Amino acid sequence: MLPPNFIDDVYRIVRSIPHGKVTSYGAIAKSLGVARSSRMVGWALNKSLHTVPAHRVVNRNGLLTGKAAFGNQNEMKNLLEQEGIEVQGDQIVNFQKYFWDPDSLGDV
């Protein structure tokens, strides 16, 4: 079972994503020790949609899979572009270049 503070942990990590960077559900899940529950990360974000910069979280392909949750499906793309991230259609260009590993929190 997920820790009761799971959402809070996701909240903290997502908020820690540097400006102009993005990460994936799996990376967050892994960082929390629930690598196999990546879906739960998306679920947690949905619960905290308006309390975290969820637009910085995409799937492992850099695809804006959660854009629908923003109400306006262009909102997520817009937010990313505002941070200097190039988005083509629903996918981040050079995703690997913008990718940020949550585990690098303590590395800095």
Give residues in contact with DNA (CB under 7 A).
1-2, 24-27, 29, 34, 36-43, 45-46, 49, 54-55, 57, 59-61, 65-66, 68-69
Task: Tell me the C-alpha to C-alpha distance, in Å, between residue 52 and each of 32, 42, 88.
Answer: 17, 12, 23
Nearer to DNA, 60 or 107 (CB): 60
Supply the minimum distance, in Å, between the C-beta of residue 20 and DNA: 17
CB 93 to DNA: min, Å: 15
- Secondary structure letter of residue 71 according to DSSP: S
Cα–Cα distance measured from residue 2 to residue 15, given in angstroms and rounded to the nearest whole number: 20
Closest CB to DNA among 16 and 59? 59
Nearest Cα to Cα of residue 48 among 3, 6, 19: 6
3-state secondary structure of 108: coil
Place of tokens 């392909």: 61
Q: Which is nearer to DNA, 3 or 20 (CB)?
A: 3
Q: How far is the CB of 57 from DNA (least distance, A)?
A: 5
